[in-house]
Structure 1
Amino acid sequence: MRAREKVIPLKVAAEKCRNLRDQGLRVVFTNGCFDLLHIGHLRYLEEARALGDYLVVAVNSDASVRCIKGPHRPVVDEKARSELVAGLHCVDCVVLFDAPDPLAVIQTLNPHVLVKGADWPVDRIVGADWVMRRGGSVVRIPVLKGYSTSGLIEKILGQVSSSSTRF
């Protein structure tokens, strides 16, 4: 299967999740911008996938990223970001979402496990209370120190501004 074939509409993902739950399999959900994919993203998603049988990743649309991160983001467009995330071995499917937060996606997919980075306190994780009320769990995965998209952007800009070499 090609990575781009794992980027599917929410309605299709919801049906897939229903079928998996009916089979007694655990659905894991996480979301993020995934702009400038890096090793921190990979390790986070591998840990998330290890928590169940099927990992759904919701990727913020370009408009959603701009709303959250500001007018100069994302660096990579939504189509490319979604396909790159889908290409990771640990990701079973990707859905794009256009809202400022993924609550509607979480409610539609009804995952067993909701995953976010440990930099998020549980009381600030969108959808945590909803998942837990339905018997699911919320897992916070430690963030790999030294790896963040913002940090990469700052490093690149710093190297470009301090260098007379052209790329």
Structure 2
Amino acid sequence: MKRVLTYGTFDLLHWGHIRLLKRAKALGDYLIVAASTDEFVTSGKDDRRPYHDHRTRCKMLEAVRHVDLVVPERSWEQKVDDIRRYHVDTVVMGSNWEGSQRFEYLRDYCEVVYLPRTEGISTRKIRRDLLADAVTDLGTPDHEPPPVTSQMAQLDRSA
């Protein structure tokens, strides 16, 4: 059995993530996804917390048919231990990591494959687009709160 491992935050799960997971699974028989913990994500230079907490992101990943096992990614240093613990044959990452010493040293332990990113989609782009839409909506003269329906008013009174 050929085992494949990939790492990521997988926040705001989108088509680019699904495509990466599908292609990673196609390289082997068993796909392990190491999902970055909230603490790991916020320990770096970018202190932005993921939208979904770690547990929710893991549940979303477990629901993807290409994923066989989800484990936590707590640090950069755990990768060799993961390769040994899960008997990994191949580590797969997006092409944005190609040449990075964060993954290149793993070639001493297994195959390392970089897959092309999906054009036009990323979590960062989704965040920017949603923010731009929100700012645009707030700046329009017709931006008003939704009307209160009789059902909503009844709920408010019963609370």
SS at match of 1:47: helix
Give the distance between the partners of 1:43 and 1:102, measured in 2 at CA.
Answer: 25
| 1:69, distance to aligned residue in structure 2 (A) | 6.2
Quote the residue 1:72 is aligned against: 48
Give the distance between the partners of 2:14 and 2:91, measured in 1 at CA.
Answer: 21
Amino acid at match of 1:151: K
Quote the residue 1:133 is aligned against: 108
The answer to whether structure 1 residue 143 and structure 2 residue 117 are counterparts is: yes
Amino acid at match of 1:110: H
Change (3 A) 1:33 1:125: same
Give the distance between the partners of 2:115 and 2:61, measured in 1 at CA.
Answer: 18
Using the size of structure 2 for normalisation, the TM-score is 0.79
* Residues 1-167 of structure 1 mapped to structure 2, 5 A cutoff: 25-68=1-44, 70-100=46-76, 102-103=78-79, 104-126=81-103, 128-130=104-106, 132-134=107-109, 136-164=110-138, 165=143
Which structure would you say has the larger Rg? 2
Aligned-residue RMSD, C-alpha: 1.9
Amino acid at match of 1:26: K
Quote the residue 1:11 is aligned against: none
Quote the residue 2:150 is aligned against: none
Using the size of structure 1 for normalisation, the TM-score is 0.76
CA contact (8 A) 1:68 1:100 kept: no
Amino acid at match of 1:148: S
Give the distance between the partners of 1:145 and 1:95, measured in 2 at CA.
Answer: 27
| 1:102, distance to aligned residue in structure 2 (A) | 4.3
Give the distance between the partners of 2:60 and 2:86, measured in 1 at CA.
Answer: 22
Change (3 A) 1:101 1:142: farther
Instruction: Extract unaligned runs of 5+ from structure 2.
Output: 147-159
- Segment of structure 1 superposing worse, 69-78 or 109-118: 69-78
Deviations 1:69-122 (A, max 9, x none): 633321110000011011101000100122245424334323101100111123
Give the distance between the partners of 1:35 and 1:80, measured in 2 at CA.
Answer: 9
SS at match of 1:119: helix
Residue correspondences, number: 140
Amino acid at match of 1:97: E
